[in-house]
Amino acid sequence: MLANRKTAAAIGAVALAGALLSVAPAQADTTAPAKPGKTAKSAPKGDGSKEICKRLPKTRTRIDAAITRLGGDATVNGSVARLEQRVANAKSAGHTEIYTYLNDRLTARKALLPTLQKRQGDLKAVSTWCAAQDSK
């Protein structure tokens, strides 16, 4: 029993010391001017075209895969058709809250498809531009 008291006292002392140490920085002098740190980022110096051209194949693959997935049938995870089926199932089961949640997701997913298709077209133009830059 004496060992338990010593252990409890030691734990209490450590907790008190930790509490006092955590309060000390809050009481530090805040009148000193802030020094610019190394974490401050500067404005970009270019448009990042080299990096965009470098990542172009991977970006194209990801967009193509997303469009394929969204356009898949009800057996494809992440497809619009699958989510439409889930919305219909929730509605027929009378799960109003689930229906509302899934229907809002469906609306967002349907809006995503035209955005991805636009990006796909933009990437074709970027690809042409990158190829022209390589030939210079």
pLDDT higher than 90, residue 86: yes
Residue whose C-alpha is closest to residue 103's, from 119, 123, 80: 80
pLDDT digits 0-9 by tens, 6-17: 665 656 555 555
Helix ranges restricted to H, the chain: 2-23, 49-70, 80-93, 96-134
Is residue 94 one of the residues assigned to a domain? yes
Highest mean pLDDT among 5-9, 88-92, 128-132: 88-92
**Structural domain includes residue 24:** no
- Domain-embedded: residue 104: yes
Measure the CA–CA gap between 20 and 78, rounded to whole angstroms. 52
d(CA 64, CA 58) in angstroms, rounded, equals 10
- Does residue 27 lie within any of the structural domains? no
Whether 21 maps to a domain, the answer reads no
- Which residue range(s) make up the domain with 70? 49-134
- Mean pLDDT throughout 49-76? 94
Spatial distance between the Cα atoms of 128 and 126, rounded to a whole number of angstroms: 5
Q: How many domains does the chain fold into?
A: 1
Q: Does some domain include residue 16?
A: no
Q: Does residue 41 form part of some domain?
A: no
Residue 19 located in a structural domain: no
Confirm if 34 and 108 have CB atoms less than 8 A apart. Answer: no
Question: What's the average model confidence in pLDDT over 21-32?
Answer: 51
